[in-house]
Structure 1
Amino acid sequence: MHDFCFTIPYGLILVVGGLVGYVKRGSVASLGGGVGTGLVLVLAGYLSLKAFGRRKNSYLALVIETVCAAALTFIMGQRYVQTSKIMPAAIIAGISALMTGFYVYKIATSGNHIPAKAE
């Protein structure tokens, strides 16, 4: 599976979650954190998709994705420890931990598998 297949939906989930947090509770932190990080991830996924279309890997995109997911794992994990609230802290921390593991795996296995050119 290619990183952009998961990164773009993951980023969109964060954007929607940030918007919902802002609308429901007026949380500017949710707006900035969710929408900001989500848009960075969508952009990184798009860069990876475009590189794949050129039959290359975008290691810059993989690094950006890994850093964002690891930061969210840490920040939302801390928030869960402080508040013990499953939603959204534990859910986002769990999803982000899985994504961090996936991105580390992709980096360790040299990025996206580029299929041989059909002749």
Structure 2
Amino acid sequence: MPSTDYPGFIYALLLAVGGLMGGIRRGSIVSLVAGVGSGAIAAYGANRVSNNNLDVWPSLSISVALLILMSYRFVVTGKFMPAGMVMTLSLLSAIRYAILIA
């Protein structure tokens, strides 16, 4: 019986809260929509993994997409927050999900 994907839900929550903070602090609608949207996709993926340990594709896909996007933003801006932090969390998440299907 699969167990609850707590790390996946925490990752999703951090993405959503980060998007919410970007929306509120900077008035950025793009940050708000992107953060909350990617958090929702990650939460959906975590729910799928909670029901079946091998159903990692939504979670792995959003993690890899954010890893690529935020790696680029980190290289361009050189700022750890928020790009470097999301890049790091996405890398750890992608590795974790890749190990689950290996």
**TM-score with structure 1 length normalisation?**
0.78
Q: Which runs of 4+ in 1 moved over 6 A?
A: none
Which structure would you say has the larger Rg? 1
1:93-115 residue CA offsets vs partner (Å, 9 max, x unmatched): 0110111011100011xxxxxxx
Contact 2:54 2:100 in 1 (8 A): no
Task: Give, in whole Å, the separation in 1 of the partners of 2:12 and 2:4.
Answer: 12
Per the alignment, in what secondary structure is the counterpart of residue 6 of structure 1? Answer: helix
Q: How many residues align?
A: 100
Tell me which residue corresponds to 2:41.
40
- Where does structure 1 lack aligned partners over 5 or more consecutive residues? 109-119
In the TM superposition, what are the counterparts of 1:77-96 in structure 2 within 5 Å? Answer: 77-96=71-90
Identity across the alignment (%): 33
Tell me which residue corresponds to 2:9.
8
Task: Give, in whole Å, the separation in 2 of the partners of 1:22 and 1:8.
Answer: 21
- Where does structure 2 lack aligned partners over 5 or more consecutive residues? none
Tell me which residue corresponds to 2:28.
27
Q: CA-atom RMSD, angstroms?
A: 1.5
How far did 1:91 drift? 0.8
Contact 1:80 1:89 in 2 (8 A): yes
